[in-house]
């Protein structure tokens, strides 16, 4: 398999000087009208957003890189030496589901970070996954360069597919971009890590209430579904065993949520034994389906605490915006009310906000209103009380 490994120069001083000059390779929109082969090669310094943070800086970098080589681009970052390498940004118009995906260290992208060298590879070789057992669509080819400051390599700027300008020109355009952005990205990455620590529940490694609120705010008025999930009879675990046993259960529930949700969803522990999952872009039907799947996973799993094997169940309340809840600010109260209904109806079940003309129980994604569920689809037939409920006010 033919490979081309090119060593990056160590012109750190030149990169910093270029950054301080604050110039861009594309000074105005006229450059975007040029043919690809005539676009400028050198990018002396990054353009900074009005409110610079890691996400906004990465967005500028991947979009500029994509413009320079006319293919989809991405940035993968490693937060600490030996830690996982994850895709943190993908250029506009590319598959955003890749964001958050872990990169195999033996893949080409992993080697860019671990070996600190640019890589060009034939299209038949995967850039993100080394093995062939990944059932997701493989991302193949074609090149990438490391992001480094001094001797620390902390990421990779990558292109997916064969650049129209050719590998040599693409590398020539990527390398100055990487050198210019790396001194800005590294402190932004450190700040992002500290911010996430403040927004993360240390017991479960899920978002805490602060992280949950931030995730909801980031979605603005956009569509979403919200699942509120509560462990049934959790107080008995603490009372009959110990609070340490309860903590073990909470950690295992956190692991279940992390493994079950999609990239881009936000699972959170919002208090005690209560959890939440934010599903961006989802409607009520999808929220109900995901909640039912989570309920079934927990019910079928064996948990361990203080050497004992436990069976647990959860109750879930689901709401969605803009239908049936027009305002996202009201989702929490609606989902919480539905959770109370699930508790009052006997626990170990899912209840959803009422949506006129549609069933309120789980149904397959894409099923038409009033249609019979697909074979094997789960459905909750238990009747639900009408009208809102002021609050739970009863034990778990």
Convert the chain into a string of H (helix), E (strand) and C (coil): CCEEECCCCCCHHHHHHHHHHCCCCCCCHHHHHCCHHHCCCCCCCCCCCCCCCHHHHHHHHHHHHHHHHCCCEEEEEECCCCCCEEEEEECCCCCHHHCCCEECCCCHHHHHHHHCCCEEECCCCECCCCCCCCCCCCCECCEEEEEEECCEEEEEEEECCCCCCCHHHHHHHHHHHHHHHHHHHHHHHHHHHHHHHHCECCCCCCECHHHHHHHHHHCCCCCEEEEEEEECCHHHHHHHCCHHHHHHHHHHHHHHHHHHCCCCCEEEEEECCEEEEEEECCCHHHHHHHHHHHHHHHHCCEEEECCEEEECCEEEEEEEECCCCCCHHHHHHHHHHHHHHHHHCCCCCEEECCCCCCCCCCCCCCCCCCCCCCCCCCCCCCCCCCCCCCCCCCCC
| The model scores a pTM over 0.85 | no
- The CATH code of domain 209-352 reads 3.30.70.270
Beta bridge partners of 296: none
From the list 106, 120, 158, the residue with the least C-alpha distance to 1 is: 120
**pLDDT of the residue at 134:** 42
From the list 68, 78, 4, 12, the residue with the least C-alpha distance to 36 is: 68
Q: Which residue has the tokens 């890589």?
A: 119
Report the largest interatomic distance among the alpha carbons of the chain, rounded to a whole angstrom: 73
- The CATH code of domain 3-197 reads 3.30.450.40
Per the document, the length of the chain is 396
List where CATH 3.30.450.40 sits in the chain. 3-197
Token duo for residue 262 = 């999609």
Token duo for residue 100 = 């958050």
Q: Are 106 and 194 in contact (CB under 8 A)?
A: no
- Distance, in Å, from the CA atom of 341 to the CA atom of 291, rounded to the nearest integer, reads 15
**pLDDT of the residue at 93:** 85
Q: What stretches in the chain show pLDDT beneath 50?
A: 1-39, 41-44, 124-125, 130-139, 356-395
From the list 135, 125, 196, 189, the residue with the least C-alpha distance to 158 is: 125
CA distance from start to end of the chain:
59
Pairing verdict, β 85-90 and 102-103: antiparallel
**pLDDT of the residue at 128:** 55
**pLDDT of the residue at 249:** 96
Token duo for residue 23 = 């110039």
CB proximity list for 34: less than 8 A, separation 6 or greater? none
List where CATH 3.30.70.270 sits in the chain. 209-352
**pLDDT of the residue at 108:** 77
From the list 111, 114, 109, 129, the residue with the least C-alpha distance to 82 is: 114
């Amino acid at each position: 398999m033919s490979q081309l490994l090119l060593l990056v120069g160590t012109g750190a001083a030149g990169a910093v000087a270029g950054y301080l000059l604050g110039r861009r390779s594309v000074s105005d929109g006229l450059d975007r009208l040029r043919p690809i082969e005539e676009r400028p090669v050198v990018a002396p310094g990054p353009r900074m957003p009005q409110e610079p943070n890691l996400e906004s800086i990465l967005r500028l970098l991947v979009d500029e890189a994509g413009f320079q080589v006319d293919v989809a681009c991405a940035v993968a970052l490693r937060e600490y030496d030996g830690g996982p390498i994850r895709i943190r940004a993908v250029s506009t118009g590319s598959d955003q589901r890749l964001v958050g995906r872990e990169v195999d260290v033996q893949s080409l992208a992993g080697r860019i970070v671990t070996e600190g060298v640019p890589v060009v590879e034939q299209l038949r070789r995967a850039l993100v996954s080394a093995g062939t057992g990944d059932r997701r669509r493989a991302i193949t080819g074609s090149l990438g360069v490391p992001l480094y400051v001094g001797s620390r390599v902390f990421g990779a700027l990558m292109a997916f597919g064969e650049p129209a300008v050719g590998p040599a020109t693409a590398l020539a355009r990527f390398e100055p971009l990487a050198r210019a952005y790396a001194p800005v990205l590294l402190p932004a990455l450190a700040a992002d890590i500290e911010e996430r620590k403040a927004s993360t529940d240390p017991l479960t490694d899920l978002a805490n209430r602060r992280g949950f609120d931030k995730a909801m705010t980031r979605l603005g008025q956009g569509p979403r579904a919200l699942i509120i999930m509560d462990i049934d009879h959790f107080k008995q675990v603490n009372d009959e065993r110990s609070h340490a046993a309860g903590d073990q259960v909470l950690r295992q529930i956190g692991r279940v949520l992390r493994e079950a949700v999609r990239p881009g969803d936000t699972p959170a522990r919002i208090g005690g034994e209560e959890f939440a999952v934010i599903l961006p872009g989802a409607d009520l039907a999808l929220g109900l389906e995901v909640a039912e799947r989570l309920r079934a996973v927990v019910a079928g799993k064996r948990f361990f605490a203080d050497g004992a094997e436990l069976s647990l169940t959860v109750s879930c309340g689901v709401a969605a915006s803009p239908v049936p809840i027009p305002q996202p600010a009201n989702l929490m109260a609606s989902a919480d009310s539905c959770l109370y209904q699930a508790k009052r109806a006997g626990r170990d079940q899912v209840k959803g906000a009422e949506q006129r003309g549609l069933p309120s129980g789980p149904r397959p994604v894409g099923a038409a209103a009033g249609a019979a569920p697909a074979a094997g689809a789960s459905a909750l037939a238990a009747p639900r009380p009408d009208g809102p409920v002021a609050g739970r006010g009863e034990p778990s």
